[in-house]
């Protein structure tokens, strides 16, 4: 079935909005080490905002639920989302707080280290989520991550489940302690490190990833997609584990690769209903993002994803 003949799915993203300060260096510093970096740039980011942009560029009709501060970054962050066709009616301005900030170091191999200051993201309370529950109810899919208060994520999941709205959880940053209801979602998509944190199982091989996926399913997730970089994505669906192959690229900056993956996956899954097809589409989106610099600036459009992955429309 051609995805172009299907109405754009309604995707709601409940999550963080940050300004990213990206510092490029030859090697990431170790504890106690001072290094000279090569350059620095500011990018609009935050896992929630990144995934909203990714879903919009992949063909979704996207609304963002989140908050910005009362600082100079706020207008830039909101204008950037609007420019990329993300509805911001449910983005609050918290004048007494700073907008979220992420300091990201990226080395010459494209690997990164990230420190996040939540700022106004902490003001996304359960009460504010309930105030916009009609937006969630009208969605085909709710996407959540863990850069806003956990109780607010749980409230979003509760609202979505009560109205039959599909929920995708990107469990980043991975929690060390969490209620069982957090994982009671239609799809969880951790990377290897996050899967290990959630299951306490090693995830370094395909076989280990399968064991972790089965554990996550037993913990409540209906479907599981563990991203493993160049090794592809371990998909656990309908009691079967499958490795969906990756697309080979020279990684420049992996900062938003996971967010590009999640946003593209949500749109394609809502469009075609086939999870393996959606993961293949998402792998293409993630590979493109890893081959480009920045967060939202690295995210590909629907046409670019199809062309890169040589996917059937």
- Per-domain residue ranges of the chain: 8-28+39-309
Element (H, E) at 133: helix 133-137
Q: What percent of the chain has pLDDT over 90?
A: 79
Is residue 4's pLDDT more than 50?
no
**Among 100, 91, 105, CA closest to 118:** 100
Res. 113: pLDDT tops 80: yes
Residues contacting residue 199 through CB under 8 Å, at least 6 positions apart? 212, 215, 216, 219
Active site residue 107: no
- CATH superfamily of the domain spanning 8-28+39-309: Ribokinase (3.40.1190.20)
* Backbone phi, psi, residue 52, to 5°: -65, -45
From 79, 259, 277, 297, the catalytic residue: 259
Angle in degrees, CA 178, 180, 181, rounded to 5: 105
Computed over every residue of the chain, the mean pLDDT equals 92
Residues 184-221: tens digit of each pLDDT: 999 999 999 999 999 999 999 999 999 999 999 999 99
Mean pLDDT of the region 117-142:
97
Note the pLDDT of residue 311: 62
Residue 253 pLDDT > 90: no
Give the pLDDT score at 256. Answer: 82
Lowest mean pLDDT among 4-18, 185-199, 274-288: 4-18
From the number of C-beta atoms within 10 Å of its C-beta (0-12, 13-18, 19+), residue 76 rates as: middle
**Interaxial angle between packed helices 275-290 and 302-309, expressed in degrees from 0 to 180 and rounded to the nearest 10:** 100
């Amino acid at each position: 079935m051609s995805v172009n003949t299907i109405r754009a799915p309604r995707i709601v993203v409940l999550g963080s909005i940050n300004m990213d300060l990206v510092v490029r260096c030859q090697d990431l510093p170790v504890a106690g080490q001072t290094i000279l970096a090569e350059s620095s740039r500011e990018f609009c980011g935050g896992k929630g905002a990144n995934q909203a942009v990714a879903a919009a560029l992949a063909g979704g009709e996207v609304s963002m639920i989140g908050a910005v501060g009362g600082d100079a970054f706020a207008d830039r962050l909101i204008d950037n989302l609007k420019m990329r066709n993300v509805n911001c009616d449910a983005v609050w301005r918290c004048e007494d707080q700073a907008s979220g900030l992420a300091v990201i170091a990226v080395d010459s191999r494209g690997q990164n280290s990230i420190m996040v200051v939540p700022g106004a993201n902490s003001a996304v309370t359960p009460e504010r989520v309930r105030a916009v529950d009609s937006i969630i109810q009208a969605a085909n899919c709710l996407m959540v991550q863990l850069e806003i208060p956990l109780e607010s994520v749980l409230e979003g999941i509760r609202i979505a489940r009560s109205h039959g709205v599909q929920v995708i959880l990107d469990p980043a940053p991975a929690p060390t302690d969490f209620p069982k209801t957090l994982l009671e979602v239609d799809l969880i998509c951790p990377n290897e490190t996050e899967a290990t944190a959630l299951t306490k199982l090693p995830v370094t091989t395909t076989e280990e990833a399968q064991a972790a996926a089965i554990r996550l399913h037993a913990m409540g997730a209906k479907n599981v997609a563990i991203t493993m970089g160049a090794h592809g994505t371990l998909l656990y669906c309908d009691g079967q584990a499958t490795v969906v192959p990756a697309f080979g690229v020279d990684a420049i900056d992996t900062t938003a690769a996971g967010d590009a993956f999640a946003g593209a996956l949500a749109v394609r899954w809502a469009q075609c209903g086939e999870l393996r097809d959606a993961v293949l589409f998402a792998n293409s989106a993630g590979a493109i993002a890893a081959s480009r610099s920045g967060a939202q600036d690295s995210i590909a459009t629907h046409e670019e994803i199809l062309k890169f992955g040589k996917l059937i429309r």
